[in-house]
Amino acid sequence: MSEESSKPTNRSLFDWLGFRRDMDWNVAKPLGRAFGSILAIAIPLLFFGSIIAAAFVLWGTIRDIGSGASSGPNLGAGAMIAALLGAPFIIWGTYLRQRAVEFQKEGLLTDRINKAVEMLGADKTWLQYTMDEAGNPVQVERTVPNIEVRIGGLLSLERIAQDSVRYDEGRDHVRVMEILCAYVRENAPASEARNFPLIDWEPLSDDATQEQRDSQEKWRLVRFGRPYECNAEQWALSLPKPRQDISIALRVIGRRNNGQKITETQWTEAIILDEENYKTKPFERPKKINKRITSRTEIIELQSKISQWKKSKITSFIFKIDLRNTNLQGADLSELDFESAIFLMSRLEGANLIGTNLKYCMLNFTHLDGARLQKADLQGADLFGARLEAARMEEANLQCSNLNNAYIDGADLRSTDLTGADLAGASLEWSLISKSKLQGANFRNARMEGATLYDSVLDFSNLEETRLRRSSLFKASMKHCYLHNTRIEYSDMKLTDTEGLSFKGLDLREVNISQQQLVQCFGDISVLLPAHLKRPKYWPGWNLPPFVDDGFKYQWQMWRTDPANYTPPPKPDNNPET
């Protein structure tokens, strides 16, 4: 963030000549303290020296007059003495006048805020004729918000926030943002949102009958159908847009300049108590990983950096945009900046979030069905329990995001980056996840029936107890993935890169997999293979325990370390073969 971004854009003659209108008192602080110490010593010495000098001059003048040696008083000496004696009082008067100007400026800014806030509550009334129960015309007074006046108030608050950052170190910027957030929460509550008319998509049980599966398939074709024709998306696009004043308030919040954002990162509780703590450095944000992951350690390091950064923001009381429990259905928030904002339990169905910065946002239990999130940045965002049915998320950045128990059925996740994301318990049935980065993602107990993972990278992912029935893994990369009790029947693994892949408790009899792929994998006797495939010789011939120190994961790691020299452990006497 450049320093120039927080300066006023209008230039004057003084700017052209190279003079600064706003002095930067943070430069060379030690020199300022040294100069202040010198003044603290010099001023009293000069004052008392002038008194002593005045006494000597007065005594000399009286003596000369008494002796007749002088024709009159020494006017030059008297003027100098008067100036020295009057200097402290002149300085004190100047200081008082400066303080009066500052108080006047603060009062003027307060008046501007008060007038703008009054405009936010503006209403207008008109008379309307209607019929009563008897069919007689009656006159009724209607009151509605005065949108034009309210928009003027919102734009005035935006100017006040910008001026506060430019000329007053941002003292009122955060207060203005709090006013705008409160305005949106009060005038667009989530309770006024419309609900999706269809019932929630219910996944099939593992022991479903063929009749139930056929019925589910028919219902799927109706609900998810072709891309961009899902019921949820069509419904979301038909939702009414927010009121014009709400839209303006959202854009004012989302288009804050760099100077305003820096002010927010410095806004801590310490500001109220200690002015010295007002100027602090912004937190360093973890960078996005763009390269191909080659080890699990890289995933862990990125997750750790993002986790530490999020915790540091929470514990330091940094100001956050708070739009929780709001109705923003159909809102246009494209290309805006809402980093670290709170959207807890908000309604954003059908919202335009293309290219929006939503890094580290709290989106827990937020409804985003049918929303457009193409190229949105959601790195480290918390989407626990969020609803994203039929959402369009192509090329979105979801690195290390939390999608636990999220509903993402029928969504478009093509070319999306989910590196290190946590999707435990999430539902992604019939979603398009082609050419996406899913490296190191946690899909434990996720439901992904019918998902298309064509040409996606799932290296180092956890697919324990994941439901992948009828999914397409064609040309996908599954290097070093962990599959334990994963349901993968009727899936297509043709041309899938299975280097270092592990199988535990899987039924592969109805999976399209070749012998060449199988010999790159690790498994044990718990894996059921098609009749035409041979079990690799290095696979242990017994059921390795999964949750002990020297169990399945340990043997899998030993094999990956040195496949050529790996020897499977012998079956213990007390472990029955299954």
CA-nearest of 368, 357, 360 to 328 is 368
SS3 assignment, position 300: helix
pLDDT of residue 5: 42
Dihedral angle of Cα 487, 489, 491, 496, to the nearest 10 degrees: 70
Burial of residue 489 (number of CB atoms within 10 Å: 0-12, 13-18, 19+)? middle
- DSSP one-letter string for 319-380: ---B-TTBB-TT-B-TT-B-TT-B-TT-B-TT-B-TT-B-TT-B-TT-B-TT-B-TT-B-TT
Tokens linked to 242 = 């927010």
Residues in the chain: 578
| SS (HEC) of 129-165 | EEECCCCCEEEEEEEEECHHHHHHHHHHHHHHHHHHH
CA-nearest of 183, 165, 174, 171 to 116 is 183
pLDDT of residue 511: 94
| Residues 6 or more apart in contact with residue 424 via CB below 8 angstroms | 404, 405, 442, 443, 444, 445, 446
SS3 assignment, position 299: helix
Contact, 464 vs 446, CB < 8 A?
no
Query: What's the total number of domains in the chain?
Result: 1
Dihedral angle of Cα 429, 341, 312, 374, to the nearest 10 degrees: 40
Number of helices (H), then strands (E), belonging to the chain: the values are 13, 4
Has residue 73 been placed in a domain? yes
SS3 assignment, position 497: strand
SS3 assignment, position 392: strand
Has residue 448 been placed in a domain? no
Has residue 413 been placed in a domain? no
Has residue 32 been placed in a domain? yes
Has residue 28 been placed in a domain? yes
Burial per residue of 445-454, b for 16 or more beta-carbon CB atoms within 10 angstroms, e otherwise: bbbbbbbbbb
Angle (CA) 274 279 282, round 5°: 125
pLDDT of residue 318: 74
Contact, 530 vs 476, CB < 8 A?
no
**DSSP conformational letter for 457:** B
Has residue 157 been placed in a domain? no
pLDDT of residue 219: 84
Tokens linked to 360 = 């580290």
Tokens linked to 235 = 């419904």
pTM for this predicted structure: 0.79
Task: Give the integer Cα–Cα distance in Å for 342 and 397.
Answer: 18
**DSSP conformational letter for 238:** T
- DSSP one-letter string for 104-118: HHHHHHHHHHHHHHH
Has residue 298 been placed in a domain? no
pLDDT of residue 316: 52
Note down pLDDT in tens along the chain; length 578 residues. 444 444 444 555 556 656 555 555 556 667 777 777 887 787 778 777 777 777 776 676 667 666 665 555 556 666 666 666 676 777 777 777 767 666 666 667 778 888 999 999 999 988 777 877 887 888 888 888 999 999 999 999 999 999 888 887 788 899 999 999 999 999 999 999 999 998 888 888 878 888 888 888 888 888 887 666 789 999 999 999 999 999 999 999 999 998 898 888 776 543 333 334 333 444 456 777 777 888 888 888 888 888 877 776 655 557 889 999 999 999 999 999 999 999 999 999 999 999 999 999 999 999 999 999 999 999 999 999 999 999 999 999 999 999 999 999 999 999 999 999 999 999 999 999 999 999 999 999 999 999 999 999 999 999 999 999 999 999 999 999 999 999 999 999 988 999 999 999 999 999 999 999 999 999 999 999 999 999 999 999 999 998 888 899 999 999 999 999 999 999 887 655 54
pLDDT of residue 277: 37
Boundaries of domain holding 54:
3-114
| Residues 6 or more apart in contact with residue 298 via CB below 8 angstroms | 289, 440
Tokens linked to 113 = 């805020």
Has residue 107 been placed in a domain? yes
pLDDT of residue 500: 95
**Strand pairing of 502-504 and 482-484?**
parallel
